[in-house]
Amino acid sequence: MHSKLAAALWVLSLTLVQSLPVTPTFAASKKGGKNKRKNVVGKGFGAAPAAPDLQEVVAKFPTRVPEQAQQCECPCAWTPGKLYKDCCEPFHLKEKEPESPVEVLRSRYSAFAWRMPLYILETTHPECRDYRKDKVAWIKDLNRDGMFDSYDFCKLEASPQEFSEINPNEGFIRFKVTLRANESSGSHIEGQEIVIQEKSRFLNVGGDGKVCWKYAGGEVTSEVAGLEDAILNN
């Protein structure tokens, strides 16, 4: 999954908005008249305050991580009944690196489900279209538009991971994510479920005998009537 998902996975976002009601925002310019420029006058003396770093920005974001998360079943439910602390938490805490495409997939799914945008950035390969060098701007956009706040994550289903015949460091997974519109979506669609499908590409960036896989992009489709064959993140 990826950030615009399309986003998404993912990840995110999944351009889910193309199949659900949205409210567009437009910027209109006035006709006629002269453009007026405001004079900006600095106040006070001394250097401007330093811009917040990535961690400071993320600390202000809302989260969906439940209390006593370690004792909760992991959102990915890859192994039914397995606790978060024994499943995806070691990846989120950087105690482990994803050693396979499927570990990237399920840990990113859990990060989207529980609203952990920093992990989405950390596991995105530079070849992914969502990747941006300005991490602060990227994570602000992801927080605003790519964390599926109007939906609850219901289920992750995936086919077995596959690997390129010519490049063992390139892998692919086809998966489905079921989302359910929550109350913030509006009463007209609350409770409605939508299934997002993606064929994701992953790359191993490990070196010197190490293994570390990252999400490198994918093609997102939906089971919404009329959009079955459309690539939503083109």
| CB-CB contact of 223 with 217 (8 Å) | no
Side-chain half-sphere of 98: how many Cα atoms within 13 Å?
26
Side-chain half-sphere of 201: how many Cα atoms within 13 Å?
14
CA distances from 155 to 12, 141, 176, 221 (A): 14, 25, 8, 16
Q: Is 32 helix (H, G, I), strand (E, B) or coil?
A: coil
- Which candidate, 190, 192, 191, 196, places its Cα nearest to that of 223? 196
Three-state SS sequence of 141-184 = HHHHHCCCCCEEEEEEEECCCEECCCCCCEEEEEEEEEEEECHH
Q: For the chain, how many helices (H) and strands (E)?
A: 5, 5
Q: What is the dihedral of CA 66, 68, 71, 74, to 10 degrees?
A: 20
Angle at 147 between CA 142 and CA 148, to 5 degrees: 140
pLDDT of 51: 78
Would you give per-residue pLDDT tens digits along the chain (234 residues)?
Answer: 544 443 333 333 333 333 343 332 233 334 444 544 445 445 556 666 777 899 999 999 999 999 999 999 999 999 999 999 999 999 999 999 999 999 999 999 999 999 999 999 999 999 999 999 999 999 999 999 999 999 999 999 999 999 999 999 999 999 999 999 998 877 778 999 989 999 999 999 987 878 999 999 999 887 766 666 666 666
| CB-CB contact of 11 with 76 (8 Å) | no
pLDDT of 221: 81
pLDDT of 130: 94
The total of other beta-carbon atoms located within 10 Å of residue 17's CB is 17
State pTM to two decimals. 0.78
